[in-house]
Structure 1
């Protein structure tokens, strides 16, 4: 029953156990990860083109992604505001000049373009493209191995993770409220609750959640998970500067797993250097939980 979870964990653990702290090696790993994300999303687009009754399935993807994103984000925001009320986050930082949020949003949308390119090429139904799904599975295993190497190279120790209580608290609130939102979305959409929980477990890591969900639930749910998590990142980029002064925990929680990489520069410039340890711990914890939870609920 849990063979899928084991298949996900093995390359992740294997990568984490290998020493990969040399800066040159980390740069190579980061570059390979970027390329593998594009490759796998391209395969996901091709698989989508081979769906039967394509028009109806595309409407289902839009419906699933919008409703699940709304339920998960509302759940997160309500829970994070409650955390702020119970445990205020005092700070004296004054916001700095931010990088172009439009530029960052366009960087995220590039991945949508890769999925669309794969979809358009897949419409040709060229015979070799039928193996895109199998190729995507092998590429996924390699990507998870690289993720393990990246996490090991981040230098985060168990002691550092446990010390930063704010990052841990926000991560746990996001984790629990996202699952609650995913369960509500599943009920509204008429999906199995486990499917809704799996869709909520990406925590904004769209490049991984879309891939894993496609392998476990098919390209319709996988594509919905991808757009659901992409919407989360785009919303975080736009709202962080407006929220960070008075709603610091909410601004961090909206970033999900991306708070340790893509949205970290926006958090740092908006919230100051003091938010960085909490952001890294928050993103690190959710990045560890995402593949494990998705595989668990898929089982």
Structure 2
């Protein structure tokens, strides 16, 4: 658990310590951050094609993943909307004028298309594609270094990044709401409540939840957990640009544990650099809780 957190925090800190004074270079860094989203989604699709036991029990996996996703996502969205209403998240950031709804739909389809292309390529089972997990880790490290560079060259102080009340509040709401959604899904499917709680404890960390729950409950539950958390991340990526205008807490909370890494560039582009500190704190806390709670509910 702690080695995984170090892989996340060390590149972020190193990037933060790199001074960049050249404005043209900073613009290049911003552009590179945008491209990293597509790289990570492509590698995600390739990894999906190599998932064990994908063909067997596919219908049951789809049913479990769908119901858990709907229940957990709905509970999260409702709770985060209530948080935003009780404690509004004010920001001076002005999002760039969004293009038409058709253009936004095409952008979302393009993100999904990148995953599909990666998945189809992964089905070829080419030998060099077996290194997808290593490529994903390398892409993640590069992404975090870039985000760290942006943070270090912004007006934010290290204290603002580490100590962030909004990040803690959103993480607490997401933690409790997700468990509630997991309990409801377990009741609907007739599964043990502990299984539902374990499924809800991934918080979008699909690479961890799939492995942990496969070992504890078998390939059907493990694969369903993987798809549930993967769907959460993909939906968050597509909904962030619109949600950030009406409910910044929802835009952050729906990302789950991925707000510290994979969905961080989308949050930063849509909500501004002041969105990054709560996203890092929020993702950090959920990344700490996920393996602990999954281990607890799987025992």
Count of residues in Structure 1 that have an aligned counterpart in Structure 2:
256
Instruction: Quickly say closer, same or farther: Cα 1:162–1:261, change in 2 above 3 A.
Output: closer
Instruction: Quickly say closer, same or farther: Cα 1:16–1:264, change in 2 above 3 A.
Output: closer
Q: Structure 2 regions of 5+ residues with no counterpart?
A: 16-39, 99-103, 127-132, 149-157
The Cα of 1:221 is off from its aligned counterpart by 0.6
Match of 1:169 in 2: 169
- Alignment partners' CA distance in 2, 1:175 and 1:16: 20
Matched, 1:105 2:108: no
- Alignment partners' CA distance in 2, 1:77 and 1:265: 21
- Alignment partners' CA distance in 2, 1:71 and 1:42: 26
- Alignment partners' CA distance in 2, 1:70 and 1:209: 17
Contact 1:72–1:178 (Cα < 8 Å) also in 2: yes
For each residue in 1:173-232, what CA deviation from the matched residue of structure 2 results, as whole angstroms up to 9, or x when unmatched?
A: 001100010011001101111111111111112122112211221111111111111111
Match of 2:68 in 1: 68
- Alignment partners' CA distance in 1, 2:7 and 2:280: 20
Q: Structure 1 regions of 5+ residues with no counterpart?
A: 1-8, 24-33, 122-139
User: SS of 1:244's equivalent?
Assistant: helix
- Alignment partners' CA distance in 2, 1:247 and 1:16: 27
Contact 1:182–1:199 (Cα < 8 Å) also in 2: yes
Q: TM-score of the superposition, structure 1-length normalised?
A: 0.69
- Alignment partners' CA distance in 1, 2:189 and 2:81: 26
Match of 2:197 in 1: 197
The Cα of 1:96 is off from its aligned counterpart by 3.0
For each residue in 1:122-148, what CA deviation from the matched residue of structure 2 results, as whole angstroms up to 9, or x when unmatched?
A: xxxxxxxxxxxxxxxxxx9x9xx99xx
Instruction: Quickly say closer, same or farther: Cα 1:110–1:178, change in 2 above 3 A.
Output: farther
Matches within 5 A, 1:215-234: 215-234=215-234
- Alignment partners' CA distance in 1, 2:206 and 2:160: 26
Matches within 5 A, 1:67-216: 67-96=67-96, 100-109=107-116, 163-216=163-216
Contact 2:45–2:114 (Cα < 8 Å) also in 1: no
The Cα of 1:106 is off from its aligned counterpart by 3.8
Contact 2:45–2:115 (Cα < 8 Å) also in 1: no
Q: TM-score of the superposition, structure 2-length normalised?
A: 0.69
Contact 1:162–1:168 (Cα < 8 Å) also in 2: no
